[in-house]
Amino acid sequence: MRSFAISLALCVATALAVQIDTEGLPDTGLDTSSWTTGTLPPIEDLVDANDFQIAAKNVLSNRHYAYYRTAALDEITYNANMRDWNKIRLNGFSFTDVSNINTKTSILGHEFDAPFFIAPAAKAGYASNGAEANLVKAAGAANLLYVPSISSSQSIEEIGAAATSGQVMFHQEYIWSNTTKLQDELNRMKKAGFKAIFLTVDNTGVNGIRDRYLRFSSGGDAGHSSTFTIDSLNKLRNMTTLPIVPKGVKTAHDVKLCADLGFPAVYISNHGGRVVDMAPTAVEVLLDVHRLYPEVFDKIEIYADGGVRRASHIITLLALGARAVGLGRAPMYANVYGQQGVSKLLSIIKEELTTELALIGEPDSNNASQVQQHVVLLAILHLSSPTICKQDEFLLKLFVDNCQIIDMLLNTPRHNFFSLVRDSTQTTFDPFRTSPPVDPFISDFQGREQICNFVATHLDDPPSGGDLEACQYALLDERSVMDHTVILAHSYSTFEMRDRDTMTEDESSQWDAECEERADEPDDSWREWRVRFEEAESLSTYLCFECDFTVKLYNDDFVAAHTDDKGIFQLDSARRDFEDTAA
């Protein structure tokens, strides 16, 4: 009988052994075979932030797990947040003293031990009876910032009372249509000791539609104001003396607007993909800020979040200009273990941060200009005829999944005349007219001069089957992804490409004679034109088969007159203008 009881117990345990859907999280070897569904796994099993999500999924009810995990619509932005990091590489520099790693930073003038913080996330009580107080205590013990949500399980006063002496916390707030409620909450936040307000500015009128959680609970009017404008924002600033940081900014334009309006900081966030599906990630927005308004980084502190689970993610966002980086879902998952779990999570991230900084040869996480040098946001896909990829000196580049931008270019009607060159040691080339799809690749080209030297050195004898020439190449850069433009470059003789229209008759005759004498002299300069995909093949034809119009393409005034305010040369209008003038 006793033997039967033991056997039965073993059978029950086996039946309850956990097979958890890890939802595509990185497989780092976590063994859940000994876990029991509905029971908190041993915290010793967990060694990274993703482990805490799997543990939370094992122990939380389906409804409460869905509340934390849910995102808007098809969860495209949620997945982009999680997977952007796969497109990033960290450079490691040797011969650097990393014996004293510094991760301390200041946020709105308050000193913290690391450049990451616990971001606003609602209903910590779903994970633990200790609710937000667990996060307060863990952040205080680590000297990190915690910013509770206005939709917390505990009240503003309860959260404030859980803080240790001298602990600095900010608080998140929504723009309620009920201004009396808004004023009351702002007053209570200040009285409870919070030092700043993270004001969510994009969640107006309604919540995002979150299918995963709608299966357990209906949606509804969130009570947010749907008439919130810049005027409303300025009025709200007069409702409190606490610093206000707009949160939920998702465009470079709005980042600059917040700087122009005099805010001390701005928070780039798509709320973990919970509001607008297909919204850009923090990486993409920061890249846009660098491209459009780089001066903003010297005017305002920038915070960012979205899919951050590793110190390498934090380093990436710091390199892109963020002052501090938020952790959203991860602390909520860790809270299933209470304060102990949140403290362990923060300790793991801090250890990863000091380790990663040391391994890449960067002793100070605050040195943004130095940290930038460690991050390659991927190989910009540079096309050439032959096609060339390069990284320029800034090293902040947008990678395109599956080289989709190359595929788009090669599929543009009447335009596929490219062959790919992937690196500076390549000696053989793809056949003329590369066929999409093209596999992703990262190149080692380091600037235009190296590209010019490469085409001159390797293309003196073009490979059979193609028209590759040492006098021309093309580049796709970060703009190409957004405006479908390509840069064409061609070498030329500054003497031969003089514009005959600027000469007298005698000068023209003398110039013709000298051109014949100097016909064998090599080209001495290069010129570039940015054109739309649809016009690139025509421009290449004009450059390769010289005619009267070709000379105009090397005339500074003519090119400038037909280049728009975005720097795109308008080939068709230039050609029509030339033909009208000639007629």
Any residues with CB less than 8 A from the CB of 2 and at least 6 apart, and which? none
- Are 454 and 388 a contacting pair, CB within 8 Å? yes
Helix axes 339-359, 131-142, angle to 10 degrees: 40
3-state secondary structure 57-79: HHHCCHHHHHHHHCCCCCCHHHH
| Edge-to-edge strand list for the sheet holding 525-532 | 420-421, 387-388, 472-475, 485-492, 525-532
**Rounded to whole angstroms, how far apart are CA atoms 377 and 312?**
12
Active site residues: 271
**Rounded to whole angstroms, how far apart are CA atoms 575 and 380?**
31
Question: What tokens appear for 250 in the block?
Answer: 């998702």
Question: What tokens appear for 201 in the block?
Answer: 């500015």
Question: What tokens appear for 560 in the block?
Answer: 């400038």
- Are 519 and 529 a contacting pair, CB within 8 Å? no
Nearest to 46, CA basis, from 22, 30, 59: 30
Amino acid at 442: I
* N residues, the chain: 583
The Cβ-side half-sphere exposure at 295, using a 13 Å CA radius, reads 4
Angle, CA 311 vertex, CA 310 and CA 317 arms, to 5° = 100
**Rounded to whole angstroms, how far apart are CA atoms 201 and 423?**
45
Asked whether the bond before 41 is cis by omega within 30 degrees of 0, the reply is no
